[in-house]
Every structure is written in C-alpha cells, then in structure tokens.
C-alpha cells in the first residue's frame, strides 16, 4: 500500500510541524551528504528553524570557505541586488534633485546640519551607483547586439565569398572553352606544338 500524497502547505499542528521539520531536515542533510560523496562536490547547507535555531552541514571544505567562495563568485550579483534595494528606497532622480534643492537653496544653506549633508551625500552616491549599474547593463546589451550583428555579417560575408568563388570558377571554365577562332566549343581538344 502506497503513501498518500501530502499537500504542501503549512502544518497547523505545532508538534506535527516540529516532527516533520526534524525528519525533513535530516533527510535534506543526508541528500546533501550523498551529493557530496557521489559527485565529489563541495556542499554547504544552512537551515534555520521557525524558532531561530541554526542547523548547518558542509562537506569536505569548511562551511566558511564554501560561503566565501560563493560570495566571491557572486559579489557582482550581490552588489547589484544591494544597489537595487537602495534604489527602491530612494526613488527617482528627479525627487532627489527636488530634495537637494529644498535643502540647499537660498536661506536654507546656513541652517543645514551635518547629518542632513551626510544623508544627501548618501543619496547622491546611491543615485550614482544606480545610474552606473543601469549604464553598465545598457552597454552590455549593446555589446551583445553588436556581437550578434558581427555574427550575421560574418555569415553573410561567407555566403558572398562562396558565391564569388562559384562565379569565378564558372567564368574561368567559360574562358577555357572558347576556341582560337572565338567560337565556343563543347570539347575542343587542345594541341600544343612540339618544340624540337
């Protein structure tokens, strides 16, 4: 008799939820260990329970080493995520300019605190980071488009070169079939005078 299919949703009974968490956590750790052994892979696994207790597993390499390697490989992605989250908090650039104008125009200049200036500086740095990230994204898209165009032009160039070769060979064959009298012959035998 087979097991009944369990619907994936939050288990309401606290004790059943804890038992399921414990069993599935152990099963997940076992699968991670098997993956490590079978495939000679470095595996790091972190599990945090609902109560906040941390469970970890690492194979071969130290957990910190694996996480550092992940951080180094994905530093650009993590930085981009950080910039995007900051961008959501600061709003569009025109709002930033309006904020600066309201704080630093005319008589308000003398009343601006150091903290306000530090905040404005952070806003500018974030806006600049977001702008640079967007510029980088657009430039990478442009480079990809240019690479695609280059591939298409190379393919077209090869087609044209092969057509030119065919035309050149056809033209050369036609020249060889012209008789000395200027008439075209199908199979004119070529005779060369013998030199004595």
Residue 158 in this model has a pLDDT that exceeds 90: yes
Residue 178 has pLDDT above 70, yes or no: no
User: What is the pLDDT averaged over residues 138-152?
Assistant: 87
pLDDT at 180 over 60: no
Any long-range contacts for 35-44 (C-beta under 8 Å, 24+ apart)?
36/60, 42/66, 42/69, 44/70
> Six-digit token pair at 145?
């488009």
Give whole-number Cα distances, 124 to 10, 109, 117, 151, in Å.
44, 18, 10, 40
Closest CA to 77 of 133, 145, 132, 126: 133
Q: pLDDT: is 127 or 195 the higher one? A: 127
Mean pLDDT of 85-111: 62
| Section 59-65 average pLDDT | 81
pLDDT, mean over the chain:
77
Mean pLDDT of 49-57: 86
- pLDDT of res. 190: 52
pLDDT in tens, 7-41: 888 888 999 999 999 999 999 999 999 999 999 88
Phi, psi of 57 (to 5 degrees): -145, 140
Mention every residue, 6+ apart, whose C-beta is less than 8 A from residue 42: 36, 58, 59, 60, 61, 66, 69
pLDDT digits (tens, 9 = 90+) for 66-88: 888 887 777 766 666 666 565 55
Exposure on the CB side of residue 9, measured as CA atoms within 13 A: 4
């Amino acid at each position: 008799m087979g097991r009944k299919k369990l619907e994936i949703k939050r288990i309401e009974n606290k004790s059943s939820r804890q038992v399921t968490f414990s069993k599935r956590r152990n099963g997940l750790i076992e699968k991670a260990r098997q993956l490590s052994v079978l495939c000679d892979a470095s595996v790091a696994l972190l599990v945090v329970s609902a109560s906040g207790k941390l469970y970890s597993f690492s194979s071969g390499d130290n957990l910190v080493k694996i996480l550092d390697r992940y951080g180094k490989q994905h530093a650009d992605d993590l930085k981009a995520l950080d910039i995007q989250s900051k961008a959501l908090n600061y709003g569009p650039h025109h709002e930033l300019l309006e904020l600066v104008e309201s704080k630093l125009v005319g008589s308000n200049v003398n009343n601006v605190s150091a903290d306000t200036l530090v905040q404005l500086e952070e806003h500018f740095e974030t806006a600049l980071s977001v702008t640079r990230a967007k510029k980088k994204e657009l430039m990478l898209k442009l480079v990809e488009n240019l690479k695609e165009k280059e591939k298409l032009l190379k393919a077209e160039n090869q087609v044209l070169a092969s057509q030119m070769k065919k035309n050149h060979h056809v033209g050369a064959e036609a020249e060889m079939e012209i008789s000395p009298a200027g008439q075209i012959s199908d199979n004119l035998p070529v005779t060369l005078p013998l030199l004595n």
